[in-house]
Amino acid sequence: MKAIYDSIENRILIETNITDVRRFNNQPLMVESGADILYLPSALVEITDVEYNHRERTKAYGICNITVHIVEEVYNGEDVSFDLSEAVDTALNRYSDGVNYHPLELIGVTPDDNFTNLHVIKLNYRCAFVDYISPNESNQQQVQLGLNITLK
């Protein structure tokens, strides 16, 4: 999942004028309470509803939802969040890194009106992904074979 986060964060940084892109961790709520700082405008990436469909030895296939929270401060009633959300959607809709996930599909846009001094728009995407699994000691079993090898 880290590769998906990194790819989407980099795409937003490269293709838009948003310079603060991070993983979502309820930052808008924390900003309102004074416990966090966002450099506005911000884009916060969140991966939810991860469903694994098929698993192989080194890969797991699934579907997930990706929400990008576009956060902007409201100045004198002027709202630029819609311009920012359109720029982010232009960068992400049908985007894929070609390895870790299939093209993102926009499934919804939701304004979040829970804040007084921040305007938040959530862009909701869905995509299929491949999660590459590193085999580790805990899920491997040793098998002893009754082989005798003689070297000459």
Supply the range of the domain harboring residue 18: 2-129
Contact 20, 42 (CB under 8 A): yes
DSSP reduced 3-state for 26: coil
pLDDT tens across 7-27, in order?
A: 999 999 999 999 999 999 888
CATH of the domain at 7: 3.30.2000.30
Question: Residue 128 has which token pair?
Answer: 């299929």
Residues 35, 109, 117: CA angle, nearest 5 degrees: 35
DSSP assignment string, 29-98: HHHHTTS----SSEEEEEEEEEEEEEE-SSEEEEEEEEEEEEEEE-BTTB--HHHHHHHHHHHHTT---S
Question: Residue 98 has which token pair?
Answer: 């070609």
| Domain membership flag for residue 70 | yes
| Domain membership flag for residue 140 | no
Q: Residue 58, by phi and psi: left (phi above 0), alpha (psi -120 to 50) or beta? A: alpha
Threshold 0.85, pTM exceeds: no
Under the banding of pLDDT at 50, 70 and 90, the label for residue 137 is very low
- State the DSSP code for 17: S
pLDDT tens across 69-101, in order?
A: 999 887 666 656 678 899 999 999 999 999 999
Under the banding of pLDDT at 50, 70 and 90, the label for residue 47 is very high
| Domain membership flag for residue 7 | yes
Domains contained in the chain, number? 1
